[in-house]
Amino acid sequence: MSDDQKPDVTVPEKGERVAKLLARAGLCSRRDAERWIAEGRVSLRGTVLKSPAINVVDPSELTVNGKPLPGAERSRLFRYHKPVGLVTTHRDEKGRPTVFDSLPKALPRVISVGRLDLNSEGLLLLTNDGELARKMELPANGWLRRYKVRVHGHIDPAQLESLANGVTIEGISYGPIEAVLERQQGANAWIVVSLREGKNREIRRVMQHLQLPVSRLIRLAYGPFQLGSLKGGDIEEVPPRVLRDQLSITDANHRRQTSRP
């Protein structure tokens, strides 16, 4: 093996991947951790890492931007009512206000579980644990996301029912969507939409495909967690016991599904 083919540090046989440790420490998501490694911001025992494919036994040997990893906090989850006009990112290249700029200063550093676009509102889950965020976003968990959607146009119930079979738009396949008319108000209608996948701008694209442009989109629930009575801009922590219980139920359901013949 030539010098430039040698790994930049010795890889232990045990331990956990670097990106997972950074995410668990609440510094960033696993994807951001991989980007930080590529940018040369992460070191192990003083050696700058060049690849995320490194297992680490002792997290205290890691540094990020020259600083040791903070001690891992307990996993925390927050329900936040995102208002319209905020982007779900830590830094916006266009200088628009972000969700994270609006949060109370006393909060730990948090990342979002999924996203809501600039013009969408409602429930956004926030956590200090990047590994927990990744777990909650996995399609395999099958968590239902429920939305209340206002569209412009008159509803054809058959059109909405057809979404239960999924739909392909411009080469992108969307999974089954449950869409139920709540009420028609003149030229506008309110629809309750439920889905399990949640691709980028999925509801807006699907409704536009049906000639029903969306004028308001509110997320009501993400899995077992509800928007409830939270007002715009309000945030509330999910009690640790509730978080543990819900994750245990999800894990048990996932094990049952994967063990079926």
Dig out the tokens for 255 from the structure.
Answer: 């094990």
* Residue tagged active-site, from 3, 8, 58, 117: 117
Strand, helix or coil at 145?
Answer: strand
- Is 117 an annotated catalytic residue? yes
DSSP state of 190: E
Write the CA distances from 210 to 13, 77, 157, 163, 256, integer angstroms: 53, 36, 11, 10, 37
Nearest residue to 124 (alpha-carbon basis) of 221, 204, 202: 221
Nearest residue to 118 (alpha-carbon basis) of 153, 94, 141: 94
Tell me which residues are annotated as active site: 117
